[in-house]
């Protein structure tokens, strides 16, 4: 349905971006010992797994109908998309909050802030590429509707999840970048924890 959007392309782009970011964050987290950076690395790894689950869902949806499943497996996509949406929230969100509270109680000085900034900037670039590809597919599916109307009306659950994830990642990275800069400028570790 909905135009000729290629969800697979959007998912693979997001997977590539997240994996590249995961590696860069992991390396940086090991060097700097930044809690926020470790949380971000785990977040990126979880996102990779999430894209894997979406791919699994798309493959399962292709299974042919049988006597027991007379209308096929198409709706398997919704189950996996739903699961991924829950995982994005719980693993990504909750772990970050936990790390933040931990940092508030046990502050550690921010080492190598420029490395943190470099990783975050790299993340912004990678996620931007992913978001760009995702938006290209969304624009095909929109057929002249506003982004908001597409968001409300689309039946393409997997594209919806990728779009939401890319958006959240970009916002998160931007906020993190600002927080590191704030810590660098003020020397107050509160911002590193809040990040």
Partner 1 sequence: MKDLLIGQGVEPKRREELMAFINARPEVDVVLNLLTLQMGPDVMVAVKARMSPAPDQTTLIEAINSVERAMKAQFPDIRWSFFEPDIAD
Task: Please tell me whether residue 188 binds partner 1 under the rule CB under 8 A.
Answer: no
Burial of residue 148 (number of CB atoms within 10 Å: 0-12, 13-18, 19+): exposed
| Mask for 160-179, x = binds partner 1 (CB under 8 A) | xx------------------
Task: Return the number of other C-beta atoms located less than 10 Å from residue 126's C-beta.
Answer: 22
Give the whole-angstrom CA distance, residue 127 versus residue 134.
10
Task: Please tell me whether residue 59 binds partner 1 under the rule CB under 8 A.
Answer: no
Find the binder of partner 1 among 75, 147, 186, 188 (CB under 8 A).
75
Question: Which CB atom, from 73 or from 95, has the smaller least distance to partner 1?
Answer: 73
Task: Please tell me whether residue 72 binds partner 1 under the rule CB under 8 A.
Answer: yes
CB 80 within 8 A of CB 60: yes
Task: Please tell me whether residue 74 binds partner 1 under the rule CB under 8 A.
Answer: yes
Question: Which CB atom, from 22 or from 163, has the smaller least distance to partner 1?
Answer: 163
CB 43 within 8 A of CB 96: yes
Per CB under 8 A, which of residues 129..148 are in contact with partner 1?
Answer: 143
Least separation in angstroms between CB 163 and partner 1: 12
Least separation in angstroms between CB 58 and partner 1: 9
Sequence-ordered alpha helix ranges (H) in the chain: 7-32, 35-61, 76-87, 95-105, 113-142, 147-153, 157-186, 190-194
Task: Please tell me whether residue 82 binds partner 1 under the rule CB under 8 A.
Answer: yes
Give how many residues touch partner 1 by CB under 8 A.
Answer: 22
Among candidate residues 170, 165, 182, 26, the one with its CA nearest the CA of residue 91: 165
Catalog residues that contact partner 1 under the rule CB under 8 A.
1-2, 61, 71-79, 81-82, 85, 143, 153-155, 157, 160-161
């Amino acid at each position: 349905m909905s135009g000729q959007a290629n969800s697979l392309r959007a998912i693979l782009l997001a997977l590539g971006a997240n994996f590249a970011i995961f590696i860069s964050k992991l390396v940086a987290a090991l060097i700097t010992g930044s809690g926020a950076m470790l949380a971000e690395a785990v977040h990126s790894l979880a996102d990779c797994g999430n894209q894997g689950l979406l791919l699994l869902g798309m493959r399962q949806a292709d299974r042919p109908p049988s006597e027991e499943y007379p209308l096929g497996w198409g709706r398997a996509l919704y189950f996996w998309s739903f699961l991924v949406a829950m995982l994005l929230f719980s693993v990504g969100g909750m772990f970050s909050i936990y790390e933040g509270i931990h940092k508030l109680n046990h502050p550690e000085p921010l080492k190598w802030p420029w490395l943190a900034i470099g990783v975050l900037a790299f993340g912004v670039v990678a996620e931007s590429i992913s978001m760009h590809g995702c938006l290209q597919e969304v624009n095909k599916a929109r057929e002249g509707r506003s982004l908001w109307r597409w968001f409300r009306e689309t039946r393409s659950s997997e594209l919806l999840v990728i779009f939401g994830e890319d958006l959240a990642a970009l916002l998160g990275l931007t906020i993190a970048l600002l927080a590191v800069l704030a810590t660098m400028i003020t020397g107050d570790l509160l911002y590193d924890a809040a990040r």
